[in-house]
Amino acid sequence: MSPEEMANAKAVVSTVASVAATAMLVRSIANDFIPKEFRSYVFESFYDLFRRFSSQFTILIHEFQGPSPNLVFEAVEVYLGTIVNSSTKSIRLGKTENDKGLVIKMDKDEEIIDVFEDVKVTWRMQCRKIESGSQNDEIKDMIAALCSELRCYELSFLKKHKETVLKSYLPYIMERSKVAKEESRAIKLYSNFRNWGSDGMNLEHPMTFDTLAIDEEIKITLIDDLACFVKGKDYYNRIGKAWKRGYLLYGPPGTGKSSLIAAMANHLNYDIYDLDLTEVRSNSNLRSLLLGMSGRSILVIEDIDCSIKLDNREKEEEKENKHNRVTLSGILNFLDGIWSCCGEERIIVVTTNDIDKLDAALLRPGRMDMHIHMSFCRLSAFKQLVFNYLGIRQHDMFAQIGGLLEEVEVTPAEVAGELLKSKNPTISLQGLLEFLENKIAERERLKAETDLTA
Ligand SMILES: Nc1ncnc2c1ncn2[C@@H]1O[C@H](COP(=O)(O)OP(=O)(O)OP(=O)(O)O)[C@@H](O)[C@H]1O
Ligand SMILES: [Mg+2]
């Protein structure tokens, strides 16, 4: 900047400063001398004048568009809640049944400054009381019945950034708010016990992929697979397949099959529909249940080998038809076909303790896309459990315990049970060590007995 330009800039700054000072002075004089009823009129006219001469541009986003809620207002409200920072003096806080955690919103008369692609913008919220009945205005009365004030966000920035704000910043806010809304939504658990029910329960299962103790390689493969699936809308469209993915989890009780489902739901923020096949009366009942599910959800069929006789399919189907009960082919047909028309992402998880009992038709590729073996606890899963329960990553006894885990079959649930007994790592791990040694001794004893009788 040349000295001349600098002087010019200084002059502009001092003009702006003096305009601002005048504004403040006018405001305080006005507060003293102008009757309350006229104040807002005077201020608005004054600010109008100020705006006309400034290089600022302002966008007003009202809460209502006619009688309907303004979706941009809602998006801005969510978005600003995610960027409130220490510069704000007060916020509004709340939580409803459908929120996962606390929801933060900008308070009225607060100001938030945001920077987007080097463009600085200022957000302010104005509130105006609704004088219902003062005018014979139907829309006003309808809105007054919903709330006592009319709210409006005021977004201001330098005129020259109008293009960026309208074409990039506002679309960005719409997108960000959608994501934020999805993330803060409580996950619901529905069960077909009462035909899914209307509201479902909040799933408050704390399991995540961070705390789930399974083989690291399987975990990474699964997380990648889920990420691919979620982004796969165009792909599934192109190949003309229903946008769904099936996971079969198999392994003994207590190896974390149900825990893995909870981790998946928490990871994706999907609702869970828990389908108990013994409660399904007929194929048509099954059909209406599946159609009644919303998208972005996980259909869970636990212990499929126990809830439906799978081994003798032909015979079973004959019998089922007589009793009008649900059949395996009914399930498979639905999995294949019924969801193709909805175009919404859906995941099916089937669990079993015994994969050998499952019908080949269910195991065919395309039915269950990924088979995940949930196995007994080995060193890496053990380390994860120790970190979950005791908060440590390393201990002298790890090697010894790791060795025993290779020798004996214990489930993560059993290990977790032992680790829960004391918060002191040494006592807790000592307890686990004894538990494992006892288990091995018991096995040897049984073996000796059977050898003797043989
Ligand atoms: N892999 C694991 N990682 C972390 N915790 C686990 C794991 N497996 C089991 N647990 C612990 O054991 C408890 C029981 O596990 P879970 O219900 O997930 O087993 P499951 O395989 O579904 O058993 P079932 O076949 O009886 O349904 C869980 O609540 C959790 O605390
Ligand atoms: Mg289970």
Torsion-angle region of residue 377: left (phi > 0), alpha (psi -120 to 50) or beta? Answer: beta
pTM of the model: 0.74
Atom of ligand 1 nearest to the CA of 214: 1
Residue 10 has pLDDT above 80, yes or no: no
Q: Give CA torsion, residues 411, 413, 415, 419, to 10 deg.
A: 180
| 440 or 129, which is more confident | 440
Give residue 49's Cα distance to chain centre.
47
| 177 or 84, which is more confident | 177
Task: Give phi and psi for 248, each to the nearest 5.
Answer: -105, 120
415 lines ligand 1 (CB under 6 A): no
Atom of ligand 1 nearest to the CA of 388: 4
Residue 378 has pLDDT above 70, yes or no: yes
pLDDT at 23: 52
pLDDT at 376: 95
Q: What tokens were used for 75?
A: 């998006």
Length of the chain measured in residues: 454
Distance 224 CA to ligand 1 centre (A): 22
Distance 380 CA to ligand 1 centre (A): 16
Q: What are 336-375's pLDDT values in tens digits?
A: 776 666 667 889 999 999 888 887 778 877 778 899 999 9
- Rounded CA separation 372/385 (Å): 19
- Rounded CA separation 140/132 (Å): 7
Q: What are 19-35's pLDDT values in tens digits?
A: 555 555 555 555 666 56
213 lines ligand 1 (CB under 6 A): yes
- Strand boundaries in 96-206, DSSP class E: 103-106, 111-116, 119-129, 149-158, 188-191, 201-202
Q: What tokens were used for 303?
A: 């212990």
Ligand nearest to the CA of 380: 1
pLDDT at 226: 96
- Rounded CA separation 366/371 (Å): 11
Q: What are 229-274's pLDDT values in tens digits?
A: 999 888 888 887 888 899 999 999 999 999 999 999 999 999 999 9
Distance 344 CA to ligand 1 centre (A): 30
- Is 250 exposed, middle or buried, given 0-12, 13-18 or 19+ CB atoms closer than 10 A? buried
Considering only CA atoms, which of 220, 226, 228 is closest in space to residue 269? Answer: 226
Task: Categorize the per-residue pLDDT at 45 as very low, low, confident or very high, splitting at 50, 70 and 90.
Answer: low
Residue 415 has pLDDT above 50, yes or no: yes
Task: Categorize the per-residue pLDDT at 209 as very low, low, confident or very high, splitting at 50, 70 and 90.
Answer: very high
| 336 or 426, which is more confident | 426
Considering only CA atoms, which of 196, 108, 119 is closest in space to residue 149? Answer: 108
- Rounded CA separation 108/90 (Å): 9
Is residue 198 classed as helix, strand or coil in its secondary structure? coil
Using the 8-state DSSP alphabet, how is residue 398 labeled? Answer: H
261 lines ligand 1 (CB under 6 A): no
Distance 56 CA to ligand 2 centre (A): 60
The overall average pLDDT reported for the chain is 83
Q: Whose CA is nearest to atom 14 of ligand 1?
A: 254
Q: Whose CA is nearest to atom 11 of ligand 1?
A: 413
Whole-angstrom Cα Rg for the chain:
32
pLDDT at 118: 93
% pLDDT > 90, the chain: 46
Give the residues across from 245 on adjacent strands: 347
Ligand nearest to the CA of 254: 1
Read out DSSP for 204-260?
A: -----TTT--S-HHHHHHHHHHHHHHHT-HHHHHHTT--SEEEEEEE-STTSSHHHH
| 132 or 437, which is more confident | 437
Distance 257 CA to ligand 1 centre (A): 6
Residue 89 has pLDDT above 80, yes or no: yes
- Rounded CA separation 192/72 (Å): 37
Is residue 59 classed as helix, strand or coil in its secondary structure? strand
254 lines ligand 1 (CB under 6 A): yes
The Cβ of residue 399 has, within 10 Å, a number of other Cβ atoms equal to 9
Three-state SS string over 363-394 comes to HCCCCCCEEEECCCCCHHHHHHHHHHHHCCCC
Please name the residues in contact with 391: beta carbons below 8 A apart, sequence gap of 6 or more.
none
| 281 or 371, which is more confident | 371
259 lines ligand 1 (CB under 6 A): yes
Q: Whose CA is nearest to atom 24 of ligand 1?
A: 253
Task: Categorize the per-residue pLDDT at 311 as very low, low, confident or very high, splitting at 50, 70 and 90.
Answer: very low
Among 209, 214, 250, 255, name the best residue to mutate to test ligand 1's pocket (greatest count of ligand atoms within 8 A of Cβ): 255
Residue 102 has pLDDT above 70, yes or no: yes
Q: Whose CA is nearest to atom 29 of ligand 1?
A: 259
Q: Whose CA is nearest to atom 10 of ligand 1?
A: 413
Q: What are 380-393's pLDDT values in tens digits?
A: 999 999 999 999 99
| 339 or 409, which is more confident | 409
